[in-house]
Structure 1
Amino acid sequence: MRHLSACLGLLLCAACVGSEDRPSNVKDLRVLAVRLEPPEVFADTCSTDPAALLPALSRPLRFTALIPDPAGEGRDLDYVLTTCATTTSALCEGEQVELARGVTRGGELTVELSPGPGLARFQDGSFVAQRVLEEDAYRGLGGIWLPLQLEVSGGSERVYARKLMVYNCPLVPGMVVNVQPELGSLVLEGAPWFEGVPRELSGPGPFRVDPEDFSARQEDYVVPSFELKPVQLRESWELAWFSTLGGFSPNQTGGADLGGGEGRHQVEWSPPSGVSGPQDVLFWVVARDGRGGQTWVTRSARYTP
C-alpha cells in the first residue's frame, strides 16, 4: 500500500549542519520548514486527463518558508522557487520551471502562487503535474506529489529545501482533504510560554519544555489500498526543536514506532557552557503531520548564565 507518509513533508537543507554541530542548534543560514496553504488539494473527480484536473491544478497556493539567518545581521537573501518532475531524488534534476524569485531576509518568506504550481509548464507545453503522473509507477495512487524546490543564498552560503505539494482525489469512500496541523501553547519549566513574550532563564539548566496536549487535533484519515479499498489510519505528529543557542535533547519527538505506539514530546533545552553575559535566544518548534501538513511556533528567552 502506498500512503501519504512523512516523506511528503520532506525537507532537505544543504550545507547547513556539520558533523560537529547539534541539529537543533541554528547558528547560520537554514531552512527549517516549509508550509503550504492548503497542504493538500482535492480534485472533484479522479482522472489522468489533465483537462479534468484543471480546476484543482489551478487553485492558488501560499508557500511559506521558515528561514533563520542568525549570523546574517539582517542581510539580503536571494531566493528562487522552482518545480520539476523529479520525485525520487533529494533535489530537482533535469528540467525545472521557475515559479518565483526575489530578495528576502531571515525570518519567514511567503510567496503567493496564483494560479497554483500544478499549472506550471515545461518548454514543450506539458504540465509538470502530468509529467509527474506519467513517471509515477503507482499512476497517482496516493496522490500526485508535485516537487517545489527553494534555493536561498546569502554571501557564500547557499541552502536548499524541497517540499512535495499533494494533489489528490477521493479514490475510495471516506477520503477527505488534509487539514493543516496547528500547535497550541508551550510550557517552559511548568509555566506558559507565550509568543512575543521573552522568558527569563538563568543557571546551567537544563530547562524542560512541553507542548500542550494536541492529541485531539491529530486526524483520522483514509488512504486507498492497492485493491482500492479504504484503509483507516491516524496521524502521529512529529515535532522538531530548534534554538539559536545551546540545543534540545532530544531534537525530534513524536511519530509512530514500529509497533504503532506514539512517541512522547518531552524535551530539555540546555545552554552551552562558557556563555559570557546575557543572551537573547530564539526557539522554533516545527510540527509535521506525516501527510504533507506542516507548521511551526516561535518563542524567545533571555538567558543569563
Structure 2
Amino acid sequence: MIRNVPRCAPAALAALAALAACTPKFDPASSVRELRVLAVRAEPPEIAPPGDPSAPGTAALDTLVALPAFVVDPSPQVVVLHLACTPDPGNPTSTACVQFQTLSDPAQLLGGVDPASACAAPGTGKRGAISFGGVEACGLAGCGPVTVRRDPADPASDVTLPAPRYLLPADFSFDAYPASAPERVLGLEADDLALAVQATPAELAPLAAAADACATLAAAGARFETLWSSRPHVVSLKRIQIRGPAAPSPPNHNPAVSGITLGGAALTPPGGSPARIAPGKVADLLPVLPGDFAALRETYVRSDSSGAPIETRQEDWSFSWFATAGDIDLLHTTDPSEADAYTAPASGRVLLWSVVRDLRGGVAWTVADAEAAP
C-alpha cells in the first residue's frame, strides 16, 4: 500500500538540505591552525613520596606548544603558567583541577593560590589544595625561563620567575590506606594544569616598580590573568603518577623519539635550512628512534582496579602527528614502522610534530621544519 506523503515533506527536505549545507567543517585533530598545547612532560613521569627511595619526589615540567606563527617567528610567543592540585590520601573527593567549572575557566584557580607559598616554595604541592608550579616561555625551539623587569625604569632589575616543577609535600604519604588498599599498588595522581596564553615574557612584567622578587611574581600573576581574558589561550591537563609503596614495577621513564622522516628522507629540526618537499606530494611519515624499539619499551606489571596483577608486558607506544599545513592521514600510529601518509601543501613552510606516549604517563616529542617548493 502506498502511503500518502505529507505536503510539508518537500519543505522539510529542503530545510534539512540547507541545514546540512550549513554544518560547520572542523579541522582534523592533527591540524595546527591556532594555539595548541600538544603535550606536557614530567621528568621523571613517576615520583615517590618522601621516604621512598625508589624514585625522586620531584619532577621538572615542560610543555610542547604549537603555534602557526612559529613558521615565520620562532621566538617565545607563548607563556605557560602551571598550577597543580595534590590529592589528599584517604579523601575520595576529586581535586579542583579536574572539576568541570575549573576546566571551563582555569584562570579562576589563580585566586586560590597562596602568594606566600608560591614565592617561598614554588612548585611544592599542598595536600587537597592548589599550588603554583612555575612559569615558562615557549617558542619553536621549546620552553625556557621567564625573565621580567621588576622596575620598568631600571634595566638592571631583571627577575627570573620560578621554572615549572612539581614537588610532593613533606607530609604526603600512603599511611591513610590499609595494607590491602589498591592505592598502595596503583598509586595516586597529582594534576598539573598548563595554562598557555599567546604573549611574550615581557608582557608579564609589572607595570610599576615591584618591591622585590615576591612582589614581581605576584604582579606577573596578575598580568597573566589579564592577558588570559584578552588573548588566545588554551589549557592542558597533565597527570603525574605518584608511586604506591607496593608498586610491582620499577619507576616509569619517558619514552624517546629523535626525529622524523618523510618519504625515507630525514627532515631537519628547526634552526637550519628547512627540508625541501615536493608540493602536493603524498609521502610516508615515520618517527626516528634513538635505538631498537623492543629495547626502548619498558616491561611492567599491569594490575586491575583492585591492585591484583594481571600480566607482565611491554609498553604500548602511540605516535601522534601534527602539522601547520598539508594533510595527515592518521592522527595516531602504534609502531615506528607504521607509516602515516602526509600530503604536502601546494607551497610554503610547514612545521611537523611527532609526539610519542607510552600510555603510562610518559611522553616525548620531536619537531621538523620543511618547505614545499619545486
* Contact 2:30-2:322 at 8 Å conserved across structures: yes
2: distance between equivalents of 1:202 and 1:148? 41
- Structure 2 vs 1, CA of residues 19 and 220 (structure 1 numbering), >3 Å: closer, same or farther? farther
User: In the alignment, which of 123, 135, 142 is matched to residue 186 of structure 2?
Assistant: 142
Q: How does 1:100-249 map to 2 (within 5 A)?
A: 100-101=134-135, 103-105=137-139, 107-110=141-144, 112=163, 116-119=166-169, 138-154=182-198, 155-169=230-244, 171=246, 173=248, 175-196=249-270, 198-212=274-288, 214-225=293-304, 226=306, 228-229=308-309, 231-249=311-329
Q: CA deviation at 1:190?
A: 2.1
SS state at 1:200 partner: strand
TM-score if structure 2 supplies the norm length? 0.59
2: distance between equivalents of 1:133 and 1:294? 30
Q: CA deviation at 1:117?
A: 2.6
- Structure 2 vs 1, CA of residues 166 and 133 (structure 1 numbering), >3 Å: closer, same or farther? farther
Q: CA deviation at 1:286?
A: 0.1
Q: What's the C-alpha RMSD, in Å, of the aligned pairs?
A: 3.6
Deviation track 1:269-300 (CA, whole Å, cap 9, x = no partner) reads 1134xx4xx41111110000011110001111
Q: CA deviation at 1:71?
A: 2.9
Q: CA deviation at 1:172?
A: 5.6
Deviation track 1:16-49 (CA, whole Å, cap 9, x = no partner) reads xx95112111121110111111111246xxxxxx
Q: CA deviation at 1:230?
A: 6.5
Q: CA deviation at 1:203?
A: 3.1
Amino acid at match of 1:168: R
Higher strand share: 1
1: distance between equivalents of 2:33 and 2:266? 26
- Structure 2 vs 1, CA of residues 89 and 189 (structure 1 numbering), >3 Å: closer, same or farther? same
User: In the alignment, which of 323, 341, 345 is matched to residue 268 of structure 1?
Assistant: 341
* Contact 2:182-2:307 at 8 Å conserved across structures: no
* Contact 2:277-2:372 at 8 Å conserved across structures: yes
Q: CA deviation at 1:163?
A: 0.7
In structure 1, list runs of 5 or more residues that go unmatched: 1-17, 44-50, 121-125, 255-261
2: distance between equivalents of 1:158 and 1:185? 28
- Number of aligned residue pairs: give it: 259
Q: How does 1:283-294 map to 2 (within 5 A)?
A: 283-294=352-363
2: distance between equivalents of 1:20 and 1:191? 31
Query: Who is 2:367 aligned against?
Result: 298
Q: CA deviation at 1:198?
A: 2.6
TM-score if structure 1 supplies the norm length? 0.71
Amino acid at match of 2:250: V
Tell me, yes or no, if structure 1 residue 41 matches structure 2 residue 41.
no
